[in-house]
Structure 1
């Protein structure tokens, strides 16, 4: 692990993840983290983990953004003590909550992906993992799909956000820490990481809470989900056809 983004979700994590990948880092966002390391994270969330666990999980990953790694940054830093830390915050706590709430509502309205959880084992596992992580980081309780975010208590969520930020600023090694906002662009980030500045605009992702739509369009995890949905729907169609055939044959 070379770079660890410790900003809370909805502080520019998606933009930073794309930027780090552009700089050549093998980067895990929350989707790859839960897809490739879901079992390991469920063990940590439910039973705890050790420094060795975190090392084994991330020794072949260059960078990580978003949850759950941002929440467990201190434990990961123990496993990778030389990791550079990028810390992002919103302009205000209230702006963070408005942005997070917008994403939650947009997710709740995506009925297509809810349907996929019934047709894809990967989507259903992803739902469960996402719930377990959000229960730890945000205190949510409801596990029905994407109602996982429907019961987020704004007072508790803002408290978790505030406490997380204070913890980072108080305890992260100052010589390894960069306070960063995506609007500051490539120069500040690349100077901190000792990387040349790319000849492209700095990415700006998830500005309007479209994280789930981006996931459904771009994530390699979702490609597997779509394949499983096709297989499941094909099997259902074959089963219905067989039942219909026997019903009409015997009638």
Structure 2
């Protein structure tokens, strides 16, 4: 029995998978997810979903082990349906690690490849994800929250390292070449009539034409810039610190309160 079957995931998919947004991290994937929500596709499955639901980590790791380490049985459509539930959109990691499998499992789904100039991509990646997932910076938070943040950070690093190589020794030259190679692999994987290449700044026009949707009156969303990523990571770690401090201080406060009560009663 696979990790998906053991976990409490949806038993079947009741709606079709409509869009596979297979652009690599830091190419505008968050803005694209927001745009697709505006167009009526609902929320997408992406790395934030795994962060909020750490029980998914084991299921995704099992799939990664099967594909990249040849340990276990590769996921079939049944496992993908259960793991992805009724999301109509898959975006970003961990889904992009299984681009070929998802393209095959959901042949009616359209594919969007967000792209970015490699130099600008590397600058954004280096200043956000490399910082957010630094093992030294996150050490205390991971130790205080082993089943949540402590489980998620190694998983998120593993996702990126599958495409880019070890993050601790990653060079700019290697990273940019592997990013380019990833985008080229998607281009070769997906037939041109099923694929939209999109760069942030293209606006609603190409996306709505590709999807057969009317252009919304609202501006195209802009999400997940460098400041938002780092601020979100900082807030998450401080929530862990505050929660842990309350747990640690509560017994001490109780002891002090009992001691004071005993003193006032002359015991």
**TM-score of the pair, normalised by structure 2:** 0.74
Q: How many residues align?
A: 234
SS at match of 1:183: coil
SS at match of 1:87: strand
d(CA) in 2 for partners of 1:81 and 1:87? 16
d(CA) in 2 for partners of 1:105 and 1:87? 22
Structure 1 contact 23–195 (Cα < 8 Å) conserved: yes
**Cα offsets for 1:44-84 (capped at 9, x unmatched):** 12233323322322241111221121232111111111111
Which of 117, 122, 147 lines up with 1:97 in the alignment? 122
- Structure 1 regions of 5+ residues with no counterpart? 141-148
d(CA) in 1 for partners of 2:132 and 2:233? 11
**TM-score of the pair, normalised by structure 1:** 0.79
SS at match of 1:180: strand
Q: Which residue of 2 aligns with 1:146?
A: none
d(CA) in 2 for partners of 1:70 and 1:165? 11
Structure 1 contact 34–41 (Cα < 8 Å) conserved: no
Q: Which residue of 2 aligns with 1:16?
A: 32
Q: Which has the higher helix share?
A: 1
Which of 100, 103, 110 lines up with 1:77 in the alignment? 103
d(CA) in 1 for partners of 2:213 and 2:242? 42
Instruction: Give the ranges of 4+ consecutive aligned residues of structure 1 lying more than 6 Å apart after TM superposition.
Output: 108-113, 243-249
Please show how residues 208-247 of structure 1 align to structure 2 within 5 Å: 208=226, 210-214=228-232, 226=239, 231-241=243-253
Structure 2 contact 196–210 (Cα < 8 Å) conserved: yes
Q: Once superposed, what is the RMSD of the aligned Cα atoms? A: 3.2
d(CA) in 2 for partners of 1:245 and 1:151? 52
- Structure 2 regions of 5+ residues with no counterpart? 1-16, 68-73, 263-267
